[in-house]
Structure 1
Amino acid sequence: MECDKCSRDAVMHAAYSGAHLCEDHFCASVEKRVRRRIREDSMLPRDATPENPQTWVIGLSGGKDSVVLTHILDETFGRDPRIELIALTIHEGIEGYRDKSVDACVELADDIDIRHEVVSYEEEFGVRMDNVVEKDPENMAACAYCGVFRRDLLERFADEFGADKLLTGHNLDDEAQTALMNFLEGDVKQVAKHFDASIGDFDKRRDAGEFIPRAKPLRDIPEKEVALYAHLKNLPAHITECPHSSEAYRGEIQQLLLKLEENHPGTRHSIMAGYEELAELTAREYRGENGGDGSVDLNDCERCGSKTASTVCRKCRLIESIEAV
């Protein structure tokens, strides 16, 4: 099959659009959609100048999504004096898995000459995920522990580096799964938080206050296209599933969406188009509930100083539980 835009052989067919694209036109299409998302989300403020630059911290795990995101951001802004890019890698302490992905991060950072910082659970919390999984004091999935620890370190070090925004490599499949899970769980407030926290236009979001604003520039790109882009660009991505990954419910949603997409191409895009519009409306409603602004009063965790709605943050409570075993 020939590329729709030239006579070269097509390397991919997008059933949701009907497009057949060769290697060059496919890669250009991915890059165009990421840059359009950055523009439509108003990620680069009008007052950003070489004298008043933005600092964007990228959560670089070494997987295909974060590697592709970092590559495209460097291609787009690597020589733009208005933007400083910093890659932040979290080492969870997973034998035979994370070391290889950290190597991929180091290789990419060296290739594109970007500032790269690595922090670990062991150094910061005194725990390794391999040991946490063995102890499992809260009888939870490994991802539940890991998510709390990772979010804490991303937020804390992004703040330490003076980040204006924290960028993650969530793709279209990831976001459509989250949207559907929020609907099926009836979690309307989480839908509102999702908009303000990471998917809304920055000109329309509520001020993040104490937290670093997040962005997901890959959220229009299907997972398979991210993987193909990484392969075609020969990027050093470590494409292996975490051995402790066990999000059973999300896995069911993933399979459901894949089947729907196969039978009804464009389902993921349709879900996100409607979801983002509803999320914005819901966010506005929650901001004004009971005549207030819908915000939650935050305290400083009495143990680590991070922001929390309680006296002790979730991370500190989990670490205490792990140490007690």
Structure 2
Amino acid sequence: MECTKCDREAVMHAAYSGAHLCETHFRESVERRVRKRVREDSLLSGDATPEDPETWVIGLSGGKDSVVLTHVLHETFEEDPRVELVGLTIHEGIEGYRDRSLEACVELAEGLGVRHEVVSYEDEFGVRMDEVVEDDPEDMAACAYCGVFRRDLLSTYAEELGADKLLTGHNLDDEAQTALMNFLEGDVAQIAKHFDASLGGFSERKEGDEFVPRAKPLRDVPEKEVALYAHLLDLPAHITECPHSSEAYRGEIQRLLYELEENHPGTRHSIMAGYEELGGIVSEEYDDRSADLGECERCGSTTTREVCRKCSLLEAIEAV
């Protein structure tokens, strides 16, 4: 099959658009969508200058999504001194798995000349995920512990690194799954929080904001296209599922969306278009920034509880 835009052989077919694209036009398509999202979400402040650039911290796991995001943003801003990229890798303490993905992060960062920082659960919290999973003091999925710890370290170190934005590599499939889960759970407040935190609910950080603004510039690109992009460019991505991954409900939603997309191409895009419009409306009613924020009695981090969720989990782990 020939490329829709030229006479070269197509390497992919986007059923949702009907396009067949060769390698060159496919790569350009992915990069164009990421750059368009950067513009539409107003990620680059008009105040950024070569003398006073913005710092964008990328949650760099070594998986295909964060590796592709880092590569595209580096290509975009390599000659633009208004943006400094910093890769931040979190080592959870999962034997074999994270060590190999860390190697991919190091290889990518060195190859691009991007600053790279690594922090670990063991150094910061005195725990390793392998041990947490084995003890499981709260009787819950590994991802529930890991998500809390990871978000805490990403936020903490983004702040320490002077980040103006914290970027993560969530793709279209990730976001459509989250949107559908929030719909099915009837969680309107979470929809508002999701929008404000990372779906374009901000233009720039404002004085007095408690958190570094987050963004997901890869969220218009389907997962399979991210994987193909990484493959075609031979990027050093570690494409292996975490051995502790156990989000059963998300897995059901993922399979449902695959089937819907197969039968009705464009379903994921439609879900996200409606979800983001709804998020913008409900965020005015459920304004997360107006919540009563205080300091955690144990670590001093910002929280709506007396003891933040991270510290309550660590207390449970220490009690085992």
Q: TM-score, normalised by structure 2?
A: 0.98
Does residue 29 of structure 1 match 2:58? Answer: no
Q: Paired residue for 2:298, among 303, 314, 318?
A: 303
Does residue 322 of structure 1 match 2:317? Answer: yes
Query: How many Å apart are 1:206 and its aligned residue?
Result: 8.5
4+ residue segments displaced more than 2 Å: 201-208
Match of 2:116 in 1: 116
Number of equivalent positions:
320
- Structure 2 counterpart of 1:210, which letter? E
Match of 2:103 in 1: 103
Match of 1:132 in 2: 132
Identity %: 77
Contact kept? 1:63, 1:238, Cα under 8 Å: yes
Contact kept? 1:104, 1:237, Cα under 8 Å: yes
Query: How many Å apart are 1:203 and its aligned residue?
Result: 3.1
Contact kept? 1:196, 1:206, Cα under 8 Å: no
Structure 1 alignment gaps of length 5 or more = 288-292
Alignment of 1:131-210 (within 5 A): 131-203=131-203, 209-210=209-210
- Structure 1 counterpart of 2:129, which letter? M
- Structure 2 counterpart of 1:311, which letter? E
3-state DSSP of counterpart to 1:220: coil
In angstroms, what is the RMSD of aligned CA positions? 1.4
In the alignment, the residues of structure 2 paired with residue 225 and residue 267 of structure 1 have an alpha-carbon distance, to the nearest angstrom, of: 16
Structure 2 alignment gaps of length 5 or more = none
In the alignment, the residues of structure 2 paired with residue 68 and residue 201 of structure 1 have an alpha-carbon distance, to the nearest angstrom, of: 24
Match of 1:211 in 2: 211
Contact kept? 1:60, 1:89, Cα under 8 Å: yes
Match of 2:2 in 1: 2
Match of 1:274 in 2: 274
In the alignment, the residues of structure 1 paired with residue 225 and residue 208 of structure 2 have an alpha-carbon distance, to the nearest angstrom, of: 31
In the alignment, the residues of structure 1 paired with residue 69 and residue 254 of structure 2 have an alpha-carbon distance, to the nearest angstrom, of: 22
Change (3 A) 1:184 1:208: farther
Query: How many Å apart are 1:42 and its aligned residue?
Result: 0.5
Query: How many Å apart are 1:323 and its aligned residue?
Result: 1.2
Match of 1:19 in 2: 19
Query: How many Å apart are 1:114 and its aligned residue?
Result: 0.5
Contact kept? 2:205, 2:213, Cα under 8 Å: no
Match of 1:286 in 2: 286
Q: TM-score, normalised by structure 1?
A: 0.96
